[in-house]
Amino acid sequence: MQLTFSIYRYNPDVDDAPRMEDYQLEVEEGQDMMVLDALIALKEKDPSLSFRRSCREGVCGSDGMNMNGKNGLACITPLSALGKGKIVVRPLPGLPVVRDLVVDMSQFYTQYEKIKPFLINDQKQPPAREHLQSPEDRAKLDGLYECILCACCSTACPSFWWNPDKFIGPAGLLHAYRFLVDSRDTATDERLGDLDDAFSVFRCHGIMNCVSVCPKGLNPTKAIGHIKSMLLQRAV
Amino acid sequence: MVTNQASMKRDGIQDYVTLRASAAVIAAFTFYMVYVFISTENMTFEIWQGIFSSIYMKAFTLAALVAIMLHVRVGLWQVLTDYVKPYRLRAALQFVLNLIAFAYVAVGLFVLWGV
């Protein structure tokens, strides 16, 4: 069985403009493989093809890309899930392209940095071993801590496309809520104060593209809704 | 608050509440008008005038018009900041659209006054 790939190619050092390039890949009849494996096979034919990958099992979040119009991780997206026709592979939308499928994630990380993604605890005498947490409090972090920062959600979000410098984006806000509900964190008010403006949180209009594309099955829209409620409670 | 007004800086929470509260009023008015049209077999000018001559309906209509103005003010500011990046053009568009939204309220007020 011969599969056709149409892959976004752009090398700013050589090319004037991006282009889509077609590739053919021979796959045994009835055999399935992940998009990343197909890309690696194509790279053997054309070593100039560039993309990021590391763990190749959906843990590191390096190979986020847009496959047939939907963001996802190439390493855990089977070819069979993309239908029978031509497979169109593009870089994550909205971010500047470094080369081919490799994007510059600076804007994404800048927003992530803003939410102070670390535990803040002003306890005068920290416990000798660890901050203890009840199983109930620990359970509040489920569905939040699993985020691997692949940027599939934020780059699928129109609000992030239009305001990547002001809107934190779904990934950053999911992490923000993870620290807001952490019983060991004592900077809730400070964190909410940092988010209390017209863009950081409130640019989320509940489009839910983030939920639709998250390769880990997380729900950033729900977390953002909780942050909005917390901000509202703080204001009234 | 004074600084907010002077700098025209938007307040996220205020905008969030304003959008939802004004949407509730607009929705209530829309549902009521749909009910009026469905429940009235032959709508005549006299019936129409009768509906709007009630002081409650006048207040409700005015509330709906003001809600539309507030909804437009916040909603279009969000749309314009998304799609119109040159700030001079955005400010001009915002001014014109807010003026149109105000004109709706003003004209509505005069029409209600005349009923």
For position A108, what pLDDT does the model report? 98
Whether residue B40 contacts residue B47, with contact meaning beta carbons closer than 8 Å, is answered with yes
Cβ pair A82, A90 in contact under 8 A: no
pTM confidence score: 0.90
Q: Can you give the C-alpha Rg of chain B in angstroms?
A: 17
pLDDT at B42 over 80: yes
B8, pLDDT greater than 70:
no
* Residue-level pLDDT at A29: 84
Q: What percent of chain B has pLDDT over 70?
A: 92
Q: Between residues A157 and B6, which one has the greater pLDDT? A: A157
Task: Decide: A90 and A10 in contact? Cβ < 8 Å.
Answer: no
Task: Read off the pLDDT of each residue in A18-44 and give the average, rounded to a whole number.
Answer: 94
In terms of phi and psi (left: phi > 0; alpha: psi -120 to 50; beta: otherwise), the region of A58 is left
Helix A220-235 with B12-39: angle, nearest 10 deg: 100
| pLDDT higher than 90, residue A1 | no
Mean pLDDT value across residues B66-82: 95
Q: Do A231 and B12 touch (CB under 8 A)?
A: yes
Task: Report the residue from A159, A163, A202 with minimal CB separation from B16.
Answer: A202
* Distance separating alpha carbons of residues B26 and B14, to the nearest angstrom: 18
Q: Do B11 and A198 touch (CB under 8 A)?
A: yes
Residue-averaged pLDDT of chain B: 90
* Angle, CA A74 vertex, CA A69 and CA A77 arms, to 5°: 80
pLDDT band per the 50, 70, 90 thresholds, residue B4: low
Q: Which residue in A100, A59, A52, A93 sits closest to A76, CA to CA?
A: A59
Res B10: pLDDT: 80
Is the pLDDT at B5 greater than 70? The verdict is no
pLDDT at position A185: 95
Query: Does the model's ipTM exceed the 0.85 cut?
Result: no
The rounded distance, in Å, linking the Cα atoms of A176 and A115 is 6
A221 touches chain B (CB under 8 A): no
Q: Do residue B9 and residue A162 have CB atoms under 8 angstroms apart? A: no
Per-residue pLDDT tens over the stretch A88-111: 999 999 999 999 999 999 999 999
Query: Which of B79, B82, B83 to mutate against chain A (most A CBs within 10 Å)?
Result: B82
| pLDDT of res. B113 | 83
Contact with chain B for residue A162, Cβ under 8 A: yes
Q: Is the pLDDT of residue A125 over 90?
A: no
Testing the interface with B: which of A162, A202, A230, A231 to mutate, by most B Cβ within 10 A? A202
Q: Residues of chain B whose C-beta is under 8 A from some C-beta in A? A: 9-13, 15-17, 78, 81-83
pLDDT surpassing 90 at residue B72: yes
pLDDT of residue B6: 46
pLDDT at position A189: 96
> Across chain A, what does the average pLDDT equal?
95
Q: What residues of chain A lie within 8 A of the CB of B78, using their CB?
A: 203, 205
Q: What are the Cα distances from residue A169, in Å, to A22, A43, A166, A203, B71?
A: 33, 32, 9, 9, 24
